[in-house]
Amino acid sequence: MCGIVGQLRPPGQPVDPDLVSRMCAGLEHRGPDSRGMHVAEHVGLGIQRLRVIDISTGDQPIYNEDHSVVVVLNGEIYNYRELRSELQARGHRFATQGDTEVIVHLYEEHGEACVEHLHGMFAFALHDRRANRLLIGRDRVGKKPLLYRYADGVLSFASEMHALLQDRDIPRAVDHRAIDAFLEHGYVPTPLTALQGVRKLPPAHTLVIEDGAATLRRYWQLDYGVKLDADVPELCERIRDGLRSATRKRMISDVPLGAFLSGGIDSSAVVAAMAEASSEPVRTFSIGFDHERFDELPHARAVAQQFGTVHEEFEVRADAVEVVPQMIRHYGEPFADPSAIPSFYLSELTRRHVTVALNGDGGDESFGGYQRYVANAMASRLDRIPAPLRRTIAGIGGRLPAGGAVTSTTNKVRRLAGTLALDGPGRYARYVAWFDGAARAALYTPGFAALVGDGAPDPVRAAWEDASGADVVDRMLEVDVRTYLVDDLIAKIDIATMAHALEARSPFLDHELMQLAASIPAGLKVRGGEKKWILREALRGWLPDELLDRPKQGFSVPLSAWLRGDLRSWAAEILLDPVTLGRGYFEPAAIRSLLDRHAAGADGEDKRIWALLMLELWHRDFIDAPLRDAVPAAA
């Protein structure tokens, strides 16, 4: 696991080695064990390496036999041993025992299509000297990040924003459409970033720069259209076998290894699979809160006891926001998911003991673990009601009194009624929005609204309309895999773990296991009002029924209580600061109204306040303040 950087310039324009070195320095927290650089005329590649596999000979860059092809890799290739054997049989000679070297030899065999043979989590950059071609690629699900800017024939790229911005030719100009998208989703959706001209390489894509032309290609996607014709017992066995296989692959390591354990179904299943495959006790790590409603530590302890793990815990309190400035710097753009805070602390705790940690990310998005899947599936059945009548019901529902818990019956009915007049993707976008269109319009000044214009393309609608599945549940799952999963959950864990030089691996994000889940009929994933039905059935007898049948708690934080208590004055000081209001984005009266509604007990405003805080703090660090040359390693 590492961080990679690089630059390609037109022939005759040499790359500055000092630039590559500065970019590497900005990623030392991701890879503190070694630095490698390849700078030859108009191409420069750099890597900060965290040694996990092939500790003694695996430092990068890695070359082919005649040094005409060079590669740097961030991530792990889980099928490298099989690939190595195949390539050796075809006459390729290897100089290392690690996974990176298979990429250069695969490229010699298959060219750009080499990426289709790789199973794992990765972002890599490869230069072919003979063809004067640069290839960058990202894994199928988007586990490893890669940002880039291509302008005037110059490509600069890096694993994180602060490293990329060591290239002083990249202006720190805010992309206002991306800010609008951030406020809607709580993250900046791929391929946008918060800066103009800087883009994220999408998952399952390659970018080739050759002869001054850039070609972006998608090489893989899940197929929800073809369903397995098998009975439930067979499907359950295939799920268990798939999880076992995915977990075993992710236990290959030359350094200490453990697991995040929340006490929920997915992380518990991963720990169960690890315990089955390991001859030694598994090491597990959990995070909790000083609010009982949000604390899953008792459930995690029960799982740890059942599987005989060596267990460590950490409790997060409101003063944990002291880590927010460091988080802002690592994320590199506004990021509103408040569970990033406990993820940051959990990663720090875990890194004290191990270098690799498995987790349960991806189970919900593959098997249907969110209440919104149930709600939207129910709402879609009401589409048979004539549109004029649906609009009338929506108007009546909108007049129901707001207030009380988000999960109250009144608010559920109000929310459902309010989406009846929308089509499928519009309804789902409304469900997942932090600030919907009306809320953003009420917040923006006329000047900022003009800058935003029509906004960026809607990623939810784009993914919905491109989805391969016919069932509404499958469409929601595919939308989440391509939006929320990659830009929120995966980004959150990658940044939190790599800030502490900890490698995170996710068996549920194995692309073969995900394709198996996509091939299971939607009615077995969300069955009536029950979420993840087929996964629960597959895990019966492996995990206790009381764990499988208890309501989903989720990895959330007591944000509302914090913002009404210890953090109330902090939030108001930042959001009502003349510096904040002077940006001209938001109407001061709208900000005050938002803070007042939350203080008065309105539910659901805490996330919006937090998003505005993260936006302003990002502005102060990345736009207002001079960028430091390098980011210190996390404490």
CA 137, CA 508: separation in Å to the nearest integer?
A: 21
| 2 included as an active-site residue | yes
510 phi/psi in degrees, rounded to 5: -60, 125
Contacts of 108 (CB under 8 A, 6+ apart): 64, 69, 92
Which helix (H) or strand (E) segment holds residue 386: the answer is: none
> Hunting for tokens 């995040």 — which residue is that?
260
Q: Are strands 213-218 and 205-210 parallel, antiparallel or unpaired?
A: antiparallel
554: left (phi over 0), alpha (psi -120 to 50) or beta: left
Task: Check 2, 24, 114, 236 and give the catalytic one.
Answer: 2
Q: Rounded CA gap, 207 and 230, in Å?
A: 39
**DSSP string for 586-604:** B-HHHHHHHHHHHHTT-TT
H/E stretch holding 254: none
Distance CA 467, CA 190 (A): 17
Report the candidate in 263, 267, 245 with the shortest Cα–Cα distance to residue 358: 267
Do 147 and 166 touch, CB atoms closer than 8 A?
no
User: To the nearest 5 percent, what fractions of the chain are helix, strand and coil?
Assistant: 45, 15, 35
Cβ–Cβ contacts within 10 Å for residue 54, how many? 16
Do residues 172 and 183 make contact, with C-beta atoms less than 8 angstroms apart? no
Tokens 């989903």, residue located: 552
Q: How far apart are CA 290 and CA 558, in angstroms?
A: 9
Helix pair 424-432, 459-466: axis angle to 10 deg: 140
**Residue 392, Cα to own-chain centre: how many angstroms?**
39
Instruction: Give alpha helix (H) positions in 202-291.
Output: 232-249, 265-277
User: What's the full length of the chain, in residues?
Assistant: 635
Query: What is the distance between the alpha carbons of residues 300 and 554, in angstroms, rounded to a whole number?
Result: 13
CB-CB neighbours of 545 under 10 Å: 11
Element (DSSP H or E) covering residue 2:
strand 2-8
Torsion of CA 331, 334, 335, 341, to 10 degrees: 70
Cis ω before 457 (30° cut-off from 0): no
157-186 b/e (C-beta count within 10 Å ≥ 16 → b): bbbbbbbbbbbeebebebbbbbbbbbbbbb
List active site positions.
Answer: 2
